[in-house]
Amino acid sequence: MNLEQMLEHIKASGDIMKNITAWVELPAKEAVYEDFPEFLDERIIKALEGRGVRRLYSHQASAIRAVHDGDSIVVVTPTASGKTMCYNVPVMDAILKDESSRALFLFPTKALSQDQTTELHELITEAGVDVKTYTYDGDTPQSARKAIRQAGHIVVTNPDMLHSGILPHHTKWTKLFENLKFIVIDEVHHYRGVFGSHLANVIRRLRRICDFYGSKPQ
């Protein structure tokens, strides 16, 4: 059953429709595209073109330029609109321009963080660049943790691991915190209620530690 068939099935079901208060169909919109920013590393452009991406959506281009200009941003767009590219591309570009740069990616679950690490690895491989990206969570072997602390350009983790496994041991993460340029919080709408309050305080601790090490991440 495809999507259209499922919708028709729902419409035909009196038991389901009596619980639906409104049925709204929004017309499709033409996509708005922009060229790749002129400052973007050619290797990233070639990797994207290899995926069939010849131009960027306008919100992607705007986000990439804003990050390049040093701004902190929030991206709110529909599902499957390419939000991931809004941070993967500018972070990779910054690391290629300055290999000492570091980034911390936060995802609400381990599964999502591992999925995004796989996506990053694929883009890095296709670009043929040396951007070391690691997942750091409860499943990370002890034998790998020291290497991640020392060599990881991008560390992908979750709020609980940041709270209990990274911030209390910040002296072991000196290289990360001294050179931290980017903090990415994905799926930010998940952080509500008690969990949201918890994350807010974790981020306050993170910013205080960044201040201690002299970094001012976006």
pLDDT at 37: 96
- Indicate the pLDDT class of residue 26, thresholds 50, 70 and 90: confident
Residue 130 has pLDDT above 90, yes or no: yes
Residue 35 has pLDDT above 90, yes or no: yes
Q: Which residues pair with 185 in a beta bridge?
A: 106
- Indicate the pLDDT class of residue 45, thresholds 50, 70 and 90: very high
Q: What percent of the chain has pLDDT over 70?
A: 100
pLDDT at 52: 94
Per-residue pLDDT of 155-181, as tens digits, reads 999 999 999 999 999 999 999 999 999
**CATH dotted code for 86-213:** 3.40.50.300
Q: How far apart are CA 127 and CA 98, in angstroms?
A: 16
Q: Which residues contact 11 (CB under 8 A, 6 or more apart)?
A: 17, 23
Per-residue pLDDT of 73-114, as tens digits, reads 999 988 778 899 999 999 999 999 999 999 999 999 888 888
Q: Which letter does DSSP use for residue 35 in this model?
A: P
Q: What are the tokens at 76?
A: 């709110």
Cα three-residue angle 196-184-195, rounded to 5 degrees: 10
